[in-house]
Structure 1
Amino acid sequence: MSIPADTEALIFDCDGTLVDTLPLYLRAWQAALREVGGIEVDAAWFRERGGYAEQMLLADVEKSFGITLNRPAIIAATRRRVRETIEGVRCNVPVITVVREWAGRVPLAVASSGSREVVEASLAAIGLLDVFSVIVTIEDVEHPKPAPDIYLLAARKLGVDPAHCVVFEDSHEGLKAARAAGMTAEDVRPCSEFRVAS
């Protein structure tokens, strides 16, 4: 992961980039859809949609299965289940190393398609909640990734020109959003090394 010399801020996606919450979300979504929606969705279907915001994912479920869901109830149940299992979440060691190396040198932000409650719980679980001066989540923007809104908002809150921000991402939607915001985008997938946070 190379960081340009003119970098003034680093912005990190959360799920799949800083922490490995994707297995937790998979189990939580499956349980919520089974218990609230009355349908079974297999793991492969979810994995193909990694990086989707909640409403995008549920819209795709409705389209794929030809049903209408109680979205608020399913989202609430999913978030609750993720929070209940977040304590042992694994962190992405190479990305966390970057966070620790740059903390205090430039401002750091998180820009996530996840909910604030889960993002903050994830960061607290790995001991990094206080490291980020800005946390922007899906509740803060009208248009989720791949729209650039969430990254532009993070840069605005940091007070940094988007052109001088470097984004760390693990999804096609997130990388597209960062580039559309005029930022340098680092794909962390080739260097993912998840371990339980200590």
Structure 2
Amino acid sequence: MIDLADSRALIFDCDGTLVDTPPVYARAWAKGFLPFGREMPTAWYLDRAGMSEHVLIDAFESDFDVKVDREETVKIMRQAFLDEIDALGEITHIARIARENHGKRRMAVASGGSRAIVTASLKATGLDALFETVVTLDDVAHPKPAPDLFLEAARRLGTDPAHCIVFEDSQQGLEAARRAGMREIDVADIR
């Protein structure tokens, strides 16, 4: 049982926390990188799920000794992701926490993904109506593990960071929550 007694606000990551996006992202990134002559192994992506787009591209270029057109790669990847939007499903046990707290606590989504993909993912799974605000990488200067996303979510919710609980699946996200002065919950520990 998760103790939420001292919390005034809950902040959820989207990808891999609320919505099962990693398999769709893996296929979309593979399509994004393919025009540049390298196949991206699914396992390689899954080991890096949760990285921002530009950090992931940096890693791909370094690990595979290739240079890609960043703008074109992201454009192809995002379109491939949106083409598969109907394949997405919620992560039931985490979505249940959000539903149970809807109307009882202030709630936000804070994701390192793009606004277009995050909002489409939440809408496709029917989770969008649960949250007062959605903060994405488009809204802040620095990706996770910087605390920017979570601090902006707390600001929009009008809640002191010390009274926020963050639900996250990635090490970068858990570190970002700690840096923001928020209690973090690794969703891998919830079943």
TM-score after normalising by structure 1: 0.93
Equivalent position SS for 2:103: coil
Alignment of 1:83-94 (within 5 A): 83-94=82-93
Aligned residue-pair number: 191
Residues 27-83 of structure 1, C-alpha deviation per residue, up to 9 Å, x if partnerless?
010111012x22112112112112111000001111112222110111111111111
Q: Is the 8 A contact 1:167 1:183 kept in 2?
A: yes
| In 1: Cα distance, 2:67 partner to 2:151 partner | 33
Equivalent position SS for 1:91: coil
The amino acid that maps onto 2:135 is V
Alignment of 1:139-158 (within 5 A): 139-158=138-157
| In 2: Cα distance, 1:141 partner to 1:132 partner | 19
Residue 65 of structure 2 corresponds to residue 66 of structure 1: yes
Q: Is the 8 A contact 1:34 1:40 kept in 2?
A: yes
The amino acid that maps onto 1:45 is W
2:2 aligns to what?
A: 2
Gaps of 5+ in 2: none
Q: Is the 8 A contact 1:12 1:169 kept in 2?
A: yes
| In 2: Cα distance, 1:42 partner to 1:125 partner | 27
Gaps of 5+ in 1: 193-198
What is the aligned-residue RMSD (CA, Å)?
1.2
| In 2: Cα distance, 1:3 partner to 1:136 partner | 25
The offset of 1:4, in angstroms, is: 3.3
Alignment of 1:1-198 (within 5 A): 2-35=2-35, 37-191=36-190
| In 2: Cα distance, 1:92 partner to 1:190 partner | 14
The amino acid that maps onto 1:15 is D
The amino acid that maps onto 2:141 is E
Residues 144-180 of structure 1, C-alpha deviation per residue, up to 9 Å, x if partnerless?
0011111001101111000000000000000000011
* % identical equivalent positions: 47
